[in-house]
């Protein structure tokens, strides 16, 4: 039996997310087989919730497609921790999509504590 194909986000996905065009971002996931594969993937690099975007509503759409907003990545970091530590200015989208704002990272910091520690708004 042939192996199922493996999918990855395109190499320019960061740029697409940064542009913040909702329709362009959704177009990346138009292949149902790719979407299903990425949703089931345990790799945080395949979870678009770890990628920042000025498009607030895209995070809710990702959750509606089945991506886990509280998935732990390779370093036990959830998307909200990643965005708070990186100083993302649009963390609102992650919060509105249902991220656990009380979740503690392995150093026991919550996302709010990261933002305060790093002096991000």
Q: Model pTM?
A: 0.85
The C-alpha angle with vertex 23 and arms to 22 and 28, in degrees rounded to 5, equals 100
Tell me the H-state helices in the chain: 13-19, 22-27, 32-40, 57-65, 79-86, 92-96, 111-117
pLDDT in tens, 6-39: 888 999 999 999 999 999 999 999 999 999 999 9
Q: Which of 83, 81, 90 is nearest to 110 (CA)?
A: 81
Question: In this structure, is residue 6 part of a structural domain?
Answer: no
1, part of any domain: no
Range of the domain at 21: 13-117
- Provide the token pair at 98: 């249902």
| Res. 116 pLDDT band, cuts 50 70 90 | confident
DSSP state of 46: G
**Domain for residue 3, yes or no?**
no
**Residues 42-92: tens digit of each pLDDT:** 888 889 998 888 888 999 999 999 999 999 887 888 888 888 887 776 788
Domain membership flag for residue 4: no
Judge whether 38 lies within some domain: yes
Domain count of the fold of the chain: 1
DSSP tag of 51: S
Give the CATH number of the domain where residue 27 resides. Answer: 1.25.40.20
């Amino acid at each position: 039996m042939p192996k199922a194909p493996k999918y990855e986000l395109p190499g320019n996905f960061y740029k697409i997310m940064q542009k913040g065009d909702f329709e362009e971002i959704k177009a990346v996931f138009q292949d149902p087989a790719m979407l299903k594969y990425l949703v089931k993937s345990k790799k945080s690099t395949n979870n678009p919730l770890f990628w920042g975007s000025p498009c607030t509503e895209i995070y809710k759409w990702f959750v509606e497609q089945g991506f886990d907003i509280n998935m732990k990545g390779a370093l036990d970091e959830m998307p909200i921790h990643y965005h708070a530590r990186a100083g993302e200015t649009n963390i609102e989208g992650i919060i509105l999509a249902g991220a656990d704002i009380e979740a503690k990272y392995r150093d026991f910091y919550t996302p709010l504590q990261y933002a305060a520690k790093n002096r991000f708004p």
